[in-house]
Amino acid sequence: MITATVTNFGDSLGIQFPKSLLKNAPISESDDVEILIRNNRLIVKSLKDARHLTTKERIVAFCEATEDVQLSEVDWGKPQGKEIW
């Protein structure tokens, strides 16, 4: 197990990844990464080989990231003015 210390970078916090960890990770300097929090864990994913997600894939990912949000249709009732449905 490799440990690191969270340090202050201006108004932000940061972690320096040890070289021994990065030799086995698909992350290099200046790479774009996606940072997620799932089940109280911080996940860093490389975007090197990222492909564009379909709408369905984006919805599934959004729902997984927001487990506490219930998504459902809302019935706003009948039109009250000149709305076009």
Cα 45 to chain centroid, rounded: 9
Query: Residues 47-66: pLDDT tens digits?
Result: 876 677 788 888 887 777 76
DSSP 69: P
Upper half-sphere CA count for residue 34 (Cβ side, 13 Å): 12
CB 7 within 8 A of CB 13: yes
SS3 42: strand
What is the spatial distance between Cα 62 and Cα 23, in angstroms, rounded to a whole number?
31
The answer, as to whether pTM is greater than 0.85, is: no
**N- to C-terminal Cα distance for the chain?**
58
Report the pLDDT value the prediction gives residue 7, as an integer from 0 to 100: 95
